[in-house]
Structure 1
Amino acid sequence: MKKRILAPILAITLVTAAHAQQTMNVRDADIRAFIADAARVTGRTFIIDARVQGKVTVVTDHPVSKSQYFEIFLSTLRANGLVAVPTTNGAFRIQPTDNAASQPSRIGSRGATSNSYITEIVRLRSIDAQSAVDTVRGLISPQGSVTANRGGNSLVIVDFADNVRRVREVLRRIDTDTASTRIIALKNAGAREIATALQALAGQSAGGAGGAAPAGAATSVSVVAVNSSNSVAIRGDATSVARLAAVAEDLDRRAKNGTEIKVIFLENADAEQLLPVLQQLVGQTPSPITNQQLSASNFGNNSQSGGSNGNNPSSRPANTPAVQQQDTGNTGNAPTQTAITSGGRTASVVTRFVGANAIVIAAPAEVQRQLADVVRQLDTRREQVLVEAIVAEVSDQTASSLGAQFAIANLKGGAFAASSFQNSAPSLLTIAGAIGARQLATTTTTINGATVTTSTGSSSSDSLTQSAISSVLGASGGFGGWAGKIGDTVFGSIINAVKSDTTSNLLQVPHLVMLDNQEAHSLVGQEIPITTGKALSTNFDNAFQTTQRENVGIELTVRPQVNSSGTVKLNLRLEVSSIAGPVSSSNSDLILNKREVETVRTVDDGDIAVISGLLDDNERRTIEKIPLLGDIPGLGNLFRSKAKSRTKTNLMIFIRPTILRTADDSRKLTEQRYGYLRLQQGLAMPNDEPSIDQLVRDYMGAAPPIPSAPVPGNIEDPRIMVPVQRSSSTVIRTKRDR
C-alpha cells in the first residue's frame, strides 16, 4: 500500500523539476529579445538603456536552473560589452560598460555573482594606499576603476565581482609589514642633531625632532629623536635602516673627539639667573647674582629747610643713580675657576657673555648635551600676569549742631560773665574782644566845643580784629545775635545752627603687567613734605626744621606666581592714601588718610576676589553746657551747645589676575585699553581724530592698535563715530629706518 502512494508523488516531483530547468539555444537573436526571455525565465525586472543594440548567440548542451540561467545571462551581457547594474528597487539597469564605474552599484562582494558589477572597499594595514594602486592598476578591467583613499589608507575598487575578488586576494598577500626598526643609543652626540642629519639624508624635512615620512614621499624611512634616552629610532626598509644606522654610529664616534666649547644664545631666559643653575649641575662654584633694580625715589630720606647759613646737615642727595646694583652673594671677589684635566680633557666650565645674553659651555660632549637640554627646557617664553586692583569706597557723613553764646560786662570794670563752646562758630568772645580792644584804643576829646575822636592802633588790637573776622568768615550754617547797652553795662548773644550732609563714592583701579614670579611696583600720586622736627642754635638763630617726604596716592606692589593648575598666587601690597587736611587752624601739620593691605592670596585666572574690606559706622554726640544753668528745662538751651555727627564708610578692595600666555593675549589687552582711552577722547571731541592716534602715528611712526569690532573704541563701532585718518600718504617707519 505504501509503495502505491509513493510512486505517484515521485512522478510528480520529477515532472516539476523538469519544468524548472531551461534550455538555452539562441543563435543570432536580438539582444532585446534575449533580455525579454531572461526576464520571463528569471522573474526579474530589467531596464534597458537606449544604447543597448546587437545580436547574441548562446548554446548549451543540457538544461540549466534559474540561478545558472541568470549567471549565463550576465556572462553573455559582459561578453557583449554590457553590464546589469542593480538599482535600489531590486531591478537591474542594462547599459554599456562605458562609465559604469561612475554609476551606482552594489557595495561589497558577499553574495554577488561572478559577473555582477560591484563596488568594494579594501582597507590596508601596512602598505601605502597610493603604492597599492600602482600595483593593482593593471589587474583592473578596462571598464573598472581603482582609487586610493589617503585619509583612511584604503582602496575603492569598482569592477566585476570575480575580478574584485582576485584583486582583493592579491592585496591581502602584499599587505604585510616588511619594515625594519632599529634604535641607536648615542653616547656622545645629541639625539636631535643626529636625527636632523639622518632626516636630511633620507630626503625628509630637517625642521623638527623627527617623525614619519609623509605618504607618497620619495622614501619610506622615518627617523625619530628620543631625547629621554638620547637615542635615535629608525624605521623603514632593511637596506635603508642599515645604511642610516651606520651613519648614526659613525657620527656618534666622531662627536667624541669634537669641539668642547659651545655657545648657546638665549631667547627668553636671563643668562645671569640661569648660570648658577648650570654651574651647580657640573659641580662648579655658582657665580653671585647681581640684582639690577630700577631705583624708585628714596622716599624715606630726610631733608631740612630753613636756617640763615644754608647748611643742611642731613639733606637729601640731589642725584639718585638710575640703576642700583646689589650683590646677593659674597661681597668678595668671584671664585676663580680652576681647569682640572683628566685624560687630556678639561673639566666642565660654564660661564656667560653679558653682551649677547649667551651661555658658554666648555665640557665633554655628553655633558654639553645634557646642559643644552636643560637650557632648552628653561629657555621658554615666560608667562605674564595682569593684576588689577579695584578699590571701592562709599561714605556718608552727616553733622548738625545748635548752640547759644552770651556775654555781659561793665565798661568801668568789675565782674563779667560769658559762655563759649568749641563746637559753636563764630566765637562771641573773639568778637567781643575785638570790639573791646577797638574801644580802648579810641579816645574822644572836646576842644573849643568840637569833639575829636582819636584811634590808636596796636598789634594786639589788630590781632583780635583779624581773629574776629576769621571766626565770622569761617562759620557755616546760620547764626544770628543781638547786643545792647544799659548804662555802663553791655551785653550780647549769638545763636548758631548748622547741618551738613556729605556723600562720597571713590573708585580706583590701579593695575600692573609683569612677568611670572617677578616683583613689580607702581605709584600714582604725590610726594609731600612732612615736618618731623625743628632745631635752634645755641644763640636761638639759624633755626631749621627737619622734613620727610611721604608718598600720597595709590601704591601697588605685587609678585605673581602662576601655578600649573591655572591659578595665580599673589604676594600683594596695596596702599591708597590721601590728604585729609591740617590738624587744626593753629597746627599746619597734615592728616593723611590711609588704606593699606598686605596679603598672600591664590586666585583663579580671570576671577575677581575680595582681599580686604571695612564697614565703619561711627556716631558722635557732643553737649557743652554751663553747669546748673544748662540743666534748667527750656531756659537751659541758652546756656549749652549740642553737636551730632555720624559717619558711615563701606570700603572693599578686590583683585583680579589675568594670565597673558601668548603674544596674542598681550596684543588683545593693549587693543582693549587703547580702545577705551580712544573712545573717551572720541566722546569728548566727537568731530576730531583722537589725539592718541596722532601721537602714535606721527611721533612713534607706528600704526595705532585699534581694536577690532565690536570692542568700544573701534572705528567700526556704531555706538560712536570716532574719526580716523585714512590718508594713504602716511609713512610708517620700520625698525630698519630708525
Structure 2
Amino acid sequence: MDSARDHWRLMMNNWLSRLTSCRKHRKGRPVLGGLLLGWFLTFAAAAAPVTLNLKDADINALVESMSVLTGKNFIVDPRVKGRVTIISSKPMDERELYEVFLAVLGVHGFAAVPSGNTVKIVPAAGAKQESIPTVDGRRVIEADQIVTRIIQVQNVSVAQIVPILRPLIPPQGHLAAYTPTNVLIVSDTAANVERVASIIGRIDLASNEEIEIVPLRHAPASEIVRVLGTLEQNKVKGDQAPVGTPPRMVADERTNSILLSGDKSSRVRLRTLISHLDTPVSSSGNTQVVYLRYAKAKDLVNVLQGVSKSLSNEASLNTPAGGPGGQGAPPPGGGSSGGGGLVDIQADEATNSLVITAPPELIQSLRTVIAQLDVRRAQVLVEAIIAEISAEKTAELGVQWGVGGNNAIGFTNFDVGNNSLANVLGVGRNVRSAIIDDNSVLSSTLDGIPKGLQLGVGGSGFGLLLSALAKDAGTNVLSTPTVVTLDNEEAEIVVGQNVPFVTGTYTTSTTSTPNTSNNNNNSGLQSGGPFQTIERQDVGITLKVKPQINEGNAVKLEIAQEVSNVVPTATAATQGPTTNKRSIKTKVLVENGQVLVLGGLIDETRSESAQKVPVLGDVPVVGNLFKYRDTNRLKRNLMVFLHPVILRDPAQSTLYTSDKYSYIRDQQLAARQRDTDFLLPGEQSPLLKLEQEVQRQGTVLNIPPPVRPAPPPTAERAEKPVERLQEPAVSAPAPTAPPPRPAADAESAEFGFGNR
C-alpha cells in the first residue's frame, strides 16, 4: 500500500510540474484541464489523501476538475476569471479539498451558491441576491459557503446592535434589522455568520433595569426631577460618567410621584436622594402668585377653595399619626405636614392673578387645577333668521239713506265708524263753509272724512250716501340679528325703540282750611289734577342667547327671541300704544353650522260681515241699496330660524368678521352709487375703510371670505317691489295649526304670538 501511494505521489508531482509549464504554451488551458482531469480521476481511483500544490493555475480549470472529483454540476459566471495558487503540505481528503476550493473562490472574490442540483460560481458581490441557503445554526455547513441566517434578539433592540455589527460584515455581505419582530438578517460566509451570531449571543443578555414608582409627600415631583436631572447631567459631562445606560426619571404630576428606570445601583442611589429631598418645609406654607391668561381670577376663587378643602382632608387622612423620629408631630408654625394647614386664596382683579398661600404639595395640586381651567374658551356666533310674509285684502261697500221732514225723520245708519249719512253730510257742510268762509279750518275739517269713496246726495228732505273702500296690503320682512358670545355666557342684542307705556292714572286730592264765614259745610278737601305713570319698554328685535358647547360640534342654546312693533290705533292717545309681539323662548340642541327652525306660525283668516235693513235688504238686486258689506282676508307666514357657528380660534373669528365687514361695505358702495343729491353735489355718503387700512400691524391677515349663499343685493334688487301673495281659490280656509317647535329633552319651551 505504501509503495502505491509513493507511486501516485510521484505521478502527481510530475503533473504539477507540467501544469506550471503549461502557462508558456498558447493552448495551455485545454492542456491544463486535461492534466487536472487526469490527475483527479487518478486520485479518485486511488481514494487516498493528497497534498495539493498549484501555482498560477486557471480558476476555470480548477472548477472543471472539482466537478469531476465531487460529482457536482457547476455553472460558471462569465465574469469568473483569474489564476490561483495553492500551497499545501498536509494531505487532504475529498471534503477538505472542497473547503479549500470554496476558500480559494472567496479569496478571489467569487462565491459558490447552491441552486438545486447545481452550484453557481458568481462574483461574491452579487451572491447575496442569489438563492443562497438559509440556516438556523444547527446545520453543519462549509465555513466558506455563502449563507443567510435570521437571528432573533430577545433583550436588546436590533436598532442598537446594527451599528456595532456593521464593521464586521464585508462589502459583499448583508446586514439588516427588522424592528417589528426585533430580528437581524445576516448574509455572508458561514464562518462569518457564525461569528456574528456568537457576538450577538454575548450582547443579548437580560438587563437588570427595572421601573419603580417613588411617591412623594411634600416636594413637587417636577421640581425633584429637575434637580436630579441637573445632577446626572453634570456627572455625565465629568469624569464620573456612569457605566452602562444612564438612569431615567419621569415626573407624574397627577399622582405627585417619580418613575425611575435604570440598574439596581442607580435606582438605590436616586431613591436615597429623593428621600432626603422629599421633606416638609420649615414653615406651614408659602405664597405664590399665579397669573391667569383667560379665566377671571374672581370666578376661580370659590372653585379653588373647594378643591383645597378636599385635598387638605385627603392629605390629613393619608398622613400617619406618628412613627419613629416624631414624624407625626406638626412642624413649627402651627401648620400640618399633611397639607391640612392654613390655605388662603385671594384674587387680584387689577392684574387678574391669584395669590395662593398653602403648603407646597397643595400649591402644586392647585396649579394643576388652574392650568386646566385657565384655557381659551370657544366663542359662538348666533344668527337668528326671522322671515315674515303677510298679505291683507279688505273690501267695503254700502248705501245709506236719509229722509227728513216736519213731522218725522229716518236714517239707515250702519255700524261702520264715521261712515254714517249724518256725519258725512255734516262734514260736507263744514267743508263748504270752510271753503267759503275760512280756509284755515279746511284741513281739520277734512280729517273727519272716512277713507275710501264717500258720495253723498241730498236735498231739503232727502239724502243718500254711497261708501266704497278697497284695501290691499302686503309685507315681506327678513331680519337677521347676530350676536357673538363666549361659551356659557349670556348675550343680548336689542334693535328697536324705547316706547312709553301708560301703566296707571291717578287723581290727587289736597286739604284746605274750612270756610266758617258762611253756612257752607266745606270739609276742606279739594281734588287736584290727574297724572299718569309711564313705563318705557323696548319695542323691536330682541335676541337673548346663552350657548353651551358640548363634546364634538353640538351646541346647546337657551334662546329668547322677540320681534315686536307698534300698531297705530285710534285709542293710542287714551289707552296707550298697541304692539304686535312675536316671541320664542326655548332650549335647543343644534350642530355647528347647521340651520334649525325654532318655531313659527302659518295663519290664514277670512271674515265677512253684512248689515242690512230687514225685508228691504233681502230683495234681489234692489236689496243691495239697503246693505253694507265688509270682507277681510289675512294670510300670514312667520318662521324663525337659528344658525350657530363655533369660533374656536382667532382665525375663524377673523374669517367671519372679514365676511360681515366686506358685506356692509358692499352695501355702502351700492348705496353711494344710487345717491343723487343735487342740493349737495360734492357730498358723499359715509363709507367704511378697507379692511387692510383697519389693521394697525405691518402684516395683514389675508383670509378670503367664505362664499355666501347669495351675492349682496344690488341696486336693481333693492328697488324691486315686494311680491304679494296670490289669492287662493278657496273661499274661507280654516287656520292651520302652528308647526311643531324643537326643544331639548326634559326642557320647557315657550312660544307667544299676538298683540299687547
Are the aligned partners of 2:394 and 2:633 in contact in 1 as well (CA < 8 Å)? no
1:22-72 CA distances to partner (integer Å, 9 max, x unpaired)? 99978343223444666785335443337x43335498967748xx98766
Match of 2:693 among 679, 694, 697: 697
Looking at structure 1, the residues matched to 470 and 420 of structure 2 have their Cα atoms a distance apart, in angstroms, of 14
SS in 2 for 1:525: strand
Please state if 1:367 is matched with 2:362.
yes
Please state if 1:435 is matched with 2:428.
yes
Please state if 1:381 is matched with 2:401.
no
- Corresponding residue number in structure 2 for 1:81: 109
Flag the 1:368–1:691 CA change in 2: closer, same or farther, 3 A: same
SS in 1 for 2:447: helix
Please state if 1:512 is matched with 2:502.
no
Match of 1:47 among 74, 77, 82: 77
Aligned amino acid, residue 464 of structure 2: G
Unaligned runs of 5+ in 1: 1-17, 205-217, 285-338, 443-454, 721-738
1:296-695 to 2 correspondence within 5 Å? 341-342=334-335, 347-395=342-390, 397-409=391-403, 415-421=408-414, 429-437=422-430, 465-468=445-448, 470-471=449-450, 474-475=451-452, 479=453, 481=455, 483=457, 485=459, 488-496=460-468, 498=470, 500=472, 502=474, 504-533=475-504, 545-564=532-551, 567-583=554-570, 589-674=576-661, 677=664, 692=688, 694=690
Looking at structure 1, the residues matched to 536 and 72 of structure 2 have their Cα atoms a distance apart, in angstroms, of 112
Aligned amino acid, residue 214 of structure 2: I
Please state if 1:181 is matched with 2:248.
no
TM-score, scaled relative to structure 2: 0.66
Are the aligned partners of 2:496 and 2:538 in contact in 1 as well (CA < 8 Å)? yes
1:387-408 CA distances to partner (integer Å, 9 max, x unpaired)? 333333333x342424122344
Unaligned runs of 5+ in 2: 1-43, 235-243, 311-331, 510-525, 674-683, 715-756
Looking at structure 1, the residues matched to 290 and 434 of structure 2 have their Cα atoms a distance apart, in angstroms, of 93
Aligned amino acid, residue 357 of structure 2: A
1:223-238 to 2 correspondence within 5 Å? 223-238=249-264
SS in 1 for 2:568: strand
Determine which structure has more spread, i.e. the larger CA radius of gyration: 2
- Corresponding residue number in structure 1 for 2:676: none
Flag the 1:588–1:541 CA change in 2: closer, same or farther, 3 A: same
SS in 2 for 1:582: coil
Are the aligned partners of 1:407 and 1:416 in contact in 2 as well (CA < 8 Å)? no
1:560-594 CA distances to partner (integer Å, 9 max, x unpaired)? 33344664333322212223333569769432221
Flag the 1:245–1:579 CA change in 2: closer, same or farther, 3 A: same
Are the aligned partners of 1:424 and 1:641 in contact in 2 as well (CA < 8 Å)? no
1:191-215 CA distances to partner (integer Å, 9 max, x unpaired)? 22223333444449xxxxxxxxxxx
Are the aligned partners of 2:607 and 2:633 in contact in 1 as well (CA < 8 Å)? yes
Shift of 1:513: 2.7
SS in 2 for 1:356: coil
1:204-238 CA distances to partner (integer Å, 9 max, x unpaired)? 9xxxxxxxxxxxxx964322222343210111244
Please state if 1:31 is matched with 2:45.
no
Looking at structure 2, the residues matched to 201 and 89 of structure 1 have their Cα atoms a distance apart, in angstroms, of 66
SS in 2 for 1:166: helix
- Corresponding residue number in structure 2 for 1:326: none
- Corresponding residue number in structure 2 for 1:707: 703
Flag the 1:92–1:560 CA change in 2: closer, same or farther, 3 A: farther
Looking at structure 1, the residues matched to 277 and 417 of structure 2 have their Cα atoms a distance apart, in angstroms, of 99
Aligned amino acid, residue 368 of structure 2: D
Are the aligned partners of 2:495 and 2:540 in contact in 1 as well (CA < 8 Å)? yes
1:688-717 CA distances to partner (integer Å, 9 max, x unpaired)? 9x965526524755765543487469xxx9
Match of 1:170 among 190, 199, 203: 199
Are the aligned partners of 1:190 and 1:230 in contact in 2 as well (CA < 8 Å)? yes
SS in 2 for 1:435: helix
Are the aligned partners of 1:47 and 1:91 in contact in 2 as well (CA < 8 Å)? no
SS in 2 for 1:644: strand
Are the aligned partners of 2:285 and 2:335 in contact in 1 as well (CA < 8 Å)? no
- Corresponding residue number in structure 1 for 2:299: 273
* Structure with greater helix share of residues: 2
SS in 1 for 2:538: strand
Shift of 1:188: 0.6
Flag the 1:437–1:520 CA change in 2: closer, same or farther, 3 A: closer
Are the aligned partners of 2:152 and 2:184 in contact in 1 as well (CA < 8 Å)? yes
- Corresponding residue number in structure 1 for 2:222: 192
TM-score, scaled relative to structure 1: 0.67
- Corresponding residue number in structure 1 for 2:18: none
Looking at structure 2, the residues matched to 621 and 134 of structure 1 have their Cα atoms a distance apart, in angstroms, of 101
Aligned amino acid, residue 274 of structure 1: L
SS in 2 for 1:382: coil
Flag the 1:61–1:631 CA change in 2: closer, same or farther, 3 A: farther
Looking at structure 1, the residues matched to 432 and 708 of structure 2 have their Cα atoms a distance apart, in angstroms, of 71
Flag the 1:569–1:341 CA change in 2: closer, same or farther, 3 A: same
Looking at structure 1, the residues matched to 97 and 422 of structure 2 have their Cα atoms a distance apart, in angstroms, of 139
How many pairs align? 600
- Corresponding residue number in structure 2 for 1:309: none
- Corresponding residue number in structure 1 for 2:11: none
Shift of 1:680: 5.8
Looking at structure 1, the residues matched to 502 and 659 of structure 2 have their Cα atoms a distance apart, in angstroms, of 44
Shift of 1:622: 1.7
Are the aligned partners of 1:430 and 1:467 in contact in 2 as well (CA < 8 Å)? no
Looking at structure 2, the residues matched to 680 and 36 of structure 1 have their Cα atoms a distance apart, in angstroms, of 98
Q: Which moved more, 1:527-536 or 1:263-272?
A: 527-536
Aligned amino acid, residue 197 of structure 1: V
Are the aligned partners of 1:675 and 1:712 in contact in 2 as well (CA < 8 Å)? no
Shift of 1:652: 3.0
Flag the 1:440–1:120 CA change in 2: closer, same or farther, 3 A: same
1:154-196 CA distances to partner (integer Å, 9 max, x unpaired)? 6564533442343234224423333243322211111222233
Shift of 1:121: 6.3
SS in 2 for 1:279: helix
Are the aligned partners of 2:389 and 2:636 in contact in 1 as well (CA < 8 Å)? yes
Looking at structure 1, the residues matched to 119 and 480 of structure 2 have their Cα atoms a distance apart, in angstroms, of 79
- Corresponding residue number in structure 1 for 2:122: 94
1:361-416 CA distances to partner (integer Å, 9 max, x unpaired)? 22222332333333333333334333333333333x34242412234455x76644
Flag the 1:359–1:507 CA change in 2: closer, same or farther, 3 A: same
Q: Which moved more, 1:432-441 or 1:244-253?
A: 432-441
Looking at structure 2, the residues matched to 465 and 91 of structure 1 have their Cα atoms a distance apart, in angstroms, of 131
Shift of 1:533: 4.6
Looking at structure 1, the residues matched to 484 and 467 of structure 2 have their Cα atoms a distance apart, in angstroms, of 59
1:237-316 to 2 correspondence within 5 Å? 237-253=263-279, 255=281, 260-282=286-308
- Corresponding residue number in structure 1 for 2:240: none
Looking at structure 1, the residues matched to 116 and 476 of structure 2 have their Cα atoms a distance apart, in angstroms, of 78
